[in-house]
Amino acid sequence: MFDVAVFGSLFLTLFVIMDPPGITPIFLALTSGRATKVQRRMAWQAVAVAFGVISVFGVLGQQILAYLHVSVPALMIAGGLLLLLIALDLLTGKTDEPQQTKDVNVALVPLGMPLLAGPGAIVSVILAVQNADGFGQQLSVWTAIIAMHLVLWVTMRYSLLIIRVIKDGGVVLVTRLAGMMLSAIAVQQIVNGVTQIIQGT
């Protein structure tokens, strides 16, 4: 039977970690200047990449990390460093230069991974799949994962309406705000990874 408690627990956990409202300004900043059709496609691609990564780690997560001899804290620190580089670009305005972004599909990196499918989401899914007993709980876990990605797609897809309202000046402001938010997320992720390493020694 479908387990509502398991579904609700994982969905809320992923909602907090993947943060659809918080990803909106970052998505707008990274995709600004592109045609609306391209932005819509990038929203779909980012969600598809995130879902693919989350699904692979949900099925094979422990084996992948064990094979590569990579610990969860190391994964968190690496993801944090990558996000920090993107945040610095947003803060310094480098992404305003067409040659920096027009030929790069930001839907894959950093949107799909590690922003959406980051270490926190990956670890949560790995644990949820491992702890799910029987078909009903497994169904609940995967339904929660699918539902969360649908929410992410809807949020990014319709956030494009914001650009029409705030115009170019607003986009610049949102870009700087996104850079600040992303840098804080990145630093916190690095701190969490280092803390876990220290506690484990």
**10-residue stretch averages of pLDDT, the chain, 201 residues long:** 93 89 86 88 95 95 89 85 83 55 72 88 90 93 97 91 75 81 86 91 66
Whether the Cβ atoms of residue 38 and residue 103 lie closer than 8 Å to each other: no
Answer whether the bond into residue 114 is a cis peptide, omega within 30°: yes
pLDDT confidence of residue 47? 97
pLDDT confidence of residue 119? 85
* Cα 138 to Cα 97: distance, rounded to the nearest angstrom: 46
pLDDT confidence of residue 161? 84
pLDDT confidence of residue 105? 82
pTM of the model as a whole: 0.77
Return the biggest CA–CA distance within the chain.
53
Whether the Cβ atoms of residue 124 and residue 17 lie closer than 8 Å to each other: yes
SS percent in the chain: helix, strand, coil, step 5: 90, 0, 10
* Cα 144 to Cα 198: distance, rounded to the nearest angstrom: 33
User: Mapping DSSP to helix (H, G, I), strand (E, B) and coil, where does residue 133 land?
Assistant: coil
CB count within 10 Å of CB 20 equals 18
DSSP string, 77-91: HHHHHHHHHHHHHHH
Write out the two tokens for 13. 């956990």
Whether the Cβ atoms of residue 60 and residue 192 lie closer than 8 Å to each other: no
pLDDT confidence of residue 201? 66
Whether the Cβ atoms of residue 24 and residue 166 lie closer than 8 Å to each other: no
pLDDT confidence of residue 100? 38
User: Mapping DSSP to helix (H, G, I), strand (E, B) and coil, where does residue 147 land?
Assistant: helix
pLDDT confidence of residue 104? 61
* Cα 186 to Cα 79: distance, rounded to the nearest angstrom: 8
DSSP 8-state symbol, 102: T
Write out the two tokens for 198. 């220290």
